Chains A and B, each alone.
Chain A
Amino acid sequence: MLFHTVEFIMMLIIAVILYYTVPKSRVYVLTIANIIFYGASGLGFLALFIFVVTVTYICALKNNSKRGRLFYYLGLAINVLNLTFFKYTGFVLSNLERFFNVHFQWQDALLAKIILPVGISFYTFQLIAYLVDVYKKKIEPCRSLIEFWVFIAFFGQLIAGPIMRGIDFLPQIKNVKDIKLLPSNIKTGTYYILMGLTKKIVFADFLSSRADYFFSNAQLNSGLDAWYGAYLFAFQIYFDFSAYSEIAIGVGKLFGLDLTLNFKSPYISNNPSEFWSRWHITLSTWIRDYIYIPLGGSRKGFSRQMVNLIVAMCISGLWHGASWHFVIWGLYHGILSVVYKIIGNVTKNHDYKFVNSKVYRILTVFIYFQLTTIGWVFFRANTLTDALILIKKMFDFSNMHFTTTYVLYLCIVAVLYFLHVAEYYIRKDGAKLASVWEKYFPAPVRAVLYTSLIIVLILFTKGEENTFIYFQF
Chain B
Amino acid sequence: MKSIFKITCYIVIFFIAVQIIIGNSLLVDFVYDGRPVYDVIKDDINTYDLALKAVKKIIDREKLEDYAILIGDSVAYGSPGPSNTTISYYLNEKAKAEGKSFRVFNLAFPAMYAGDYYAVLLKMQKYGISNKHVIININYPGFAIRDSTDLIWAAYWLKEDLIKDGIETEYKMEPTSFKKVKNKILRNIPIFAYRGFIQYRFNNSAKSIFNGNSVQEPVQPWTEKPYLYEYMQDEFIQKSFRDKPFDMDTNPQAVFLDKIIQMQEGNDTIIFMAAANDLLLSDATSKPGYKENIEKVRSFFKNKDVTYIDFNGNIDYNLFSDHLHMTADGYKYMAEQLWNEVIKWDIH
Interface residues of A (CB under 8 A from B): 6-7, 181, 183, 186-187, 206, 209-210, 213, 405, 408, 412, 443-444, 446-448, 450-451, 454-455, 458-462
- Whether B18 pairs with A455 at a CB distance below 8 angstroms is yes
Chain B residues near A210: list those with CB within 8 A.
210-211
Is A183 in contact with B3, judged by CB distance below 8 angstroms?
Answer: yes
Q: Report the Cα distance A462→B40, complex, angstroms.
A: 12
Question: Are the CB atoms of A6 and B11 closer together than 8 Å?
Answer: no
Once A210-B211, A447-B14, A455-B191 are accepted as A-B contacts, the answer to whether A183 and B4 lie under 8 Å apart by CB is yes
Q: Check A450 against B18 for contact (C-beta < 8 Å).
A: no
Q: Are A6 and B199 in contact (CB under 8 A)?
A: no
Contact, CB under 8 Å: B198 / A451: no
B4-A451 in contact (CB<8A)? no
By a CB distance below 8 angstroms, the chain A residues around B7 are: 443, 446-447, 450
In the complex, chain A residues whose CB is within 8 Å of the CB of B231: none
* Chain B nearest Cβ from A403, distance in angstroms: 10
CB contacts (< 8 Å) of B195 on chain A: these are 458-459, 461
0/1 interface trace, chain B 195-211, chain A, CB 8 Å (1 if under): 10011001100100111
Structural contact, B1 and A181, CB atoms closer than 8 A: yes
Provide the residues of chain A in CB contact with B191, threshold 8 Å: 455, 458-459
Tell yes or no: B10 within 8 A of A by CB: yes
With a CB–CB cut-off of 8 A, which chain B residues contact A443? 3, 6-7, 10
Secondary structure of the A contact surface, majority rule: helix
Across the interface, do B14 and A451 meet the contact criterion of CB distance under 8 Å? Answer: yes
Cβ < 8 Å to A, chain B residues 169-215 = 178, 182, 186, 191-192, 195, 198-199, 202-203, 206, 209-212
**How far is it, in angstroms, between the C-alpha of A209 and the C-alpha of B206 when the chains are bound?**
11
Interface size on B, residues (CB 8 A): 25
B15 CB contact (under 8 Å) in A187, A209, A451: A451
Q: Which of A186, A451, A459 contacts B199 (CB 8 A)?
A: A459
Provide the residues of chain B in CB contact with A448, threshold 8 Å.
10, 14
- Picked from A183, A186, A446, A458, the residue with its CB within 8 Å of the CB of B192 is A458
Extra 13 A-B pairs, beta carbons < 8 Å, given A183-B4, A412-B209, A447-B11: A6-B182, A181-B1, A206-B206, A210-B210, A405-B212, A408-B209, A412-B210, A443-B7, A447-B7, A447-B10, A450-B7, A455-B15, A460-B199
Residues of B within 8 A of A209 (CB): 203
Interface contact A213-B211, CB-CB below 8 Å: yes
In the assembled complex, which residues on chain B have CB atoms less than 8 Å from the CB atom of A213? Answer: 211
Chain A residues with Cβ below 8 Å from B18 are 451, 455
Q: Name A209's closest neighbour in chain B (CB-CB).
A: B203
A412 to B3, CA, bound (A): 38
Q: Closest chain B residue to A210 by CB distance?
A: B210
Least CB distance from A255 to B in Å reads 16
Q: How far is the CA of A408 from the CA of B206 in the complex (A)?
A: 12
Q: Which residues of B contact A460 (CB under 8 A)?
A: 199
Chain B residues with Cβ under 8 A from A206's Cβ?
206
- Indicate the member of A206, A209, A443, A459 with the most B CB atoms within 10 Å: A459
A431–B248 CA distance with the chains assembled, in angstroms: 76
Assembled-state Cα–Cα distance A183/B206 (Å): 39
A-B CB contact pairs (8 Å), 19 listed: A6-B186, A183-B1, A183-B3, A183-B4, A187-B4, A210-B210, A443-B3, A443-B6, A443-B7, A447-B7, A450-B11, A451-B11, A455-B18, A455-B191, A458-B192, A459-B198, A459-B199, A460-B199, A462-B199
Whole-angstrom CA separation of A187 from B1 in the bound complex? 10
Tell me, in angstroms, the Cα distance from A458 to B191 when the chains sit together: 8
Q: With a CB–CB cut-off of 8 A, which chain B residues contact A405? A: 212
A451 to B195, CA, bound (A): 16
Q: Which residues of B contact A447 (CB under 8 A)?
A: 7, 10-11, 14
